[in-house]
A = this chain, B = another copy of it.
Amino acid sequence: MIDTHTNALQTESAGEVGLVEYRDFVCKEPFRFENGESIPGFQLRYETYGQLNADHSNAILICHALSGDHHCAGTHSPEDRKPGWWNHMVGPHKPIDTTRFYVVSSNCLGGCVGSTGPTSINPVTGRRYNLDFPILSIADFVFAQRRLADYLEIPSWHAVIGGSMGGMQALQWALSFPDFVERIIALASTARHSSQAIAFNEVGRYAIMQDPEWKDGNYELGEGPNMGLAVARMMAHITYLSDKGLEVKFGRSRRQTDSSKNQFDVEFEVESYLRHQGQSFISRFDANTYLHFTKSNDRFDLYGDHEALEDAFAEMKARALVVGFTSDWLYTPEQNRNLAHAMLLAGKEATYAEIDMDLGHDSFLVHAPELFRLLSAFLSN
């Protein structure tokens, strides 16, 4: 059995997480989804950074956003062009300090980067799940991660942290397992999707499902609705940024025109950027997972049947830090403020911080000293 509490490749000498390797947690027990359906078992891919302490009290879980994955810090090989997506946040003496904390970053159930999802083989049929994969909820992500925590012999999280869909998971952790979670940090998150957020997701799903290559979800590995998925990603990517952020970054700058192309081909820099986003996404993401993840986000609803949002937090025990970003128009500052406000009305230890940044919803992914200090202070407190 591999030692799950250290990471053999880890080299912290340079103030960086350094080289890391992912691991696969295989759960051979059946997993029952929130919708009542079951699968006979599942796998979750994850990475860890830092060391679990003697009393197993220093573990932090990081939950990824819709297009993210478990690889949030360090590199897999010296040749990697980029480190993990939150490398500036996670590492020795960084805000999520790996000299103090044992950090677990888990891939989501249903994902397409090593965890069991629509692309996995259904052991019952011997074929890929595709659309037979049960509809996923945010709670399903969390219950699968709970199995991982048990496997890692973690009795409780010092903190669960995530942005966007990761923030939903942090919130859900505090509600599903109140005694397991000491702190949550939900960044650029929401109690539920607005009608507009659902609308954007629907257009993305529609583009995928109308692509003839989707084939009712039964495309072959390596094939699939690339056009639809690229369109979905390009559109979604606009919602992750902001009007002002795009204006500052691209404005109306033009590219060299390519006279071999038609007159509607790339003219403005922002067009080229979006096409690049679309193309790089199809090389790393599965369309059926995209359908599942967007749907789980659309259905996430902490209001549920409660009369008021505060009622949703009645059982929560974690202390909460909710962070909104001024230019986030997908999960607005107001939606984030409302989360903290509802927790306070429910008598919980909660606080809200708003960071003034122009980068829209994706602000939480960006190097930002103020955000660093906030997280560092909250985790030490």
Contact = CB atoms under 8 A, between A and B. Distances in A.
Contacts of A262: 131, 209, 216-217
Interface in A180-230: 192-196, 198-200, 202-203, 205-207, 209-212, 216-217, 227, 230
* Centre residue among A203, A216, A241, A332 by max chain B CB count within 10 A: A203
Contact of A199 (B135, B193, B216, B246): B246
B243 A196 contact: yes
A270 B202 contact: yes
Nearest to A234: B203
A203 B264 contact: no
A352 interface: no
Interface string A241-285: 111001101111000000000111001101100110010000000
A251 B301 CA distance: 12
A275 B207 CA distance: 11
B206 A234 contact: yes
Nearest to A330: B243
A148 interface: no
A22 to B, nearest CB: 29
A193 B329 CA distance: 19
A317 B198 CA distance: 46
A251 B199 contact: no
A205 B246 contact: no
Contact of A250 (B195, B238, B291): B195
A263 B135 contact: yes
Contacts of A329: 243, 329
Interface in A134-161: 135
Contacts of A263: 131, 135, 295
Contact of A227 (B131, B210, B270): B210
A27 interface: no
Nearest to A241: B196
A251 B198 CA distance: 9
* Centre residue among A196, A212, A247, A267 by max chain B CB count within 10 A: A196
- Name the interface size band of chain A: 35 or more
A231 interface: yes
A359 B243 CA distance: 19
A354 interface: no
A66 interface: no
Contacts of A349: none
A299 to B, nearest CB: 8
A235 interface: yes
Contacts of A210: 227, 230-231
A225 to B, nearest CB: 11
Interface in A110-143: 131, 135
A193 B252 contact: yes
A330 to B, nearest CB: 10
Ranked 9 nearest A-B pairs via Cβ: A195-B246, A202-B271, A210-B227, A196-B243, A195-B250, A203-B234, A207-B231, A203-B235, A264-B291
30 contacts: A192-B252, A194-B243, A195-B243, A195-B246, A195-B247, A195-B249, A195-B250, A195-B252, A195-B270, A196-B243, A196-B247, A199-B238, A199-B271, A200-B238, A202-B270, A206-B231, A206-B274, A206-B278, A207-B227, A207-B231, A209-B264, A210-B230, A210-B231, A216-B262, A217-B262, A235-B235, A264-B291, A264-B295, A267-B298, A268-B298
Given A195-B270, A200-B235, A202-B271, 12 more contacts: A135-B263, A195-B243, A195-B250, A195-B268, A196-B238, A196-B246, A196-B247, A198-B271, A199-B238, A199-B246, A205-B264, A206-B231
